[in-house]
């Protein structure tokens, strides 16, 4: 007999690192971090259950989003750094970041837990609903890390479980 819980578990750092590393094909290091400050340049990924109940968020700052997108697309680091300096996430980096965040739904999909999928990714400059912004700022069931991608640099990534 198996019992299904109503909430996704907080994933391990190992699963986060391995998922990103496997996608971008570069070494990824995670270390202790702080929640990214609420900025209009952050990328917020919202994951929902099959009943469309918000289950988790992944929040990445502009630097992390650009570096993830650049490393996935093998875009030269100079181009990535220019986007960061301009406080802009070019469309190709945004789309690549979306692909990584979409696959990251797998870190929440464990036996006896609800199936979770990426519902929405709010790109820099997007209006984020108040309930999602409040959840992103929640203290508690979350993991805040500094993510460093070999050859591309670092950024901040947070996983928040509802």
51-107 per-position pLDDT tens digit: 999 999 999 999 999 999 999 999 999 999 999 999 999 999 999 999 999 999 999
Give the distance between the most distant pair of CA atoms in the chain: 55
Strands (E), the chain: 28-32, 43-49, 54-60, 116-122, 142-149, 153-161
57: nearest Cα among 68, 48, 67, 49: 48
Residue 25 lies in a domain: yes
Q: What is the mean pLDDT of residues 105-123?
A: 95
Exposure of 144 in the CB half-sphere (CA atoms within 13 A):
12
Residue 5 lies in a domain: no
Residue 2 lies in a domain: no
Residue 1 lies in a domain: no
Residue 97 lies in a domain: yes
Task: Check residue 1 and give its pLDDT.
Answer: 42
Q: What is the pLDDT of residues 3-30, one digit of tens each?
A: 556 778 899 999 999 999 999 999 999 9
Task: Check residue 61 and give its pLDDT.
Answer: 97
Token pair of 109 as six digits: 């999909």
Whole-structure pTM value = 0.94
User: CATH code at 123?
Assistant: 3.40.1550.10
* pLDDT of residue 2 exceeding 90: no
Confidence of residue 139 (pLDDT cuts 50, 70, 90): confident
Residue 96 lies in a domain: yes
Residue 67 lies in a domain: yes
Indicate if the alpha-carbon torsion angle 145, 92, 123, 78 is positive or negative.
Answer: positive
Distance CA 104, CA 121 (A): 12
Confidence of residue 150 (pLDDT cuts 50, 70, 90): very high
* pLDDT of residue 153 exceeding 90: yes
User: 51 lies in which domain range?
Assistant: 13-161
Residue 8 lies in a domain: no
Q: Per the structure, how many domains does the chain have?
A: 1
For β-strands 116-122 and 28-32, DSSP reports them as unpaired
* pLDDT of residue 121 exceeding 80: yes
Distance CA 22, CA 150 (A): 13
């Amino acid at each position: 007999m198996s019992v299904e819980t109503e909430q996704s578990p907080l994933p391990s750092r190992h699963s986060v690192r391995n998922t990103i590393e496997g996608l971008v094909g570069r070494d990824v290091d995670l270390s202790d971090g702080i929640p990214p400050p609420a900025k209009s340049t952050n990328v917020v990924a919202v994951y929902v259950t099959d009943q469309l109940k918000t289950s988790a968020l992944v929040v990445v700052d502009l630097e992390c989003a650009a570096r993830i997108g650049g490393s996935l697309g093998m875009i030269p680091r100079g181009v990535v750094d220019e986007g960061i300096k301009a406080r802009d996430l070019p469309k190709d980096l945004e789309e690549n970041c979306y692909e990584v965040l979409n696959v990251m739904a797998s870190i929440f999909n464990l036996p006896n837990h609800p199936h979770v999928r990426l519902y929405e990714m709010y790109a820099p400059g997007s209006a984020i609903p108040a309930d999602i912004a409040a959840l992103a700022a929640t203290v508690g069931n979350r993991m805040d890390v500094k993510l460093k991608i070999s050859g591309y640099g670092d950024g901040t990534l947070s996983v928040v479980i509802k």
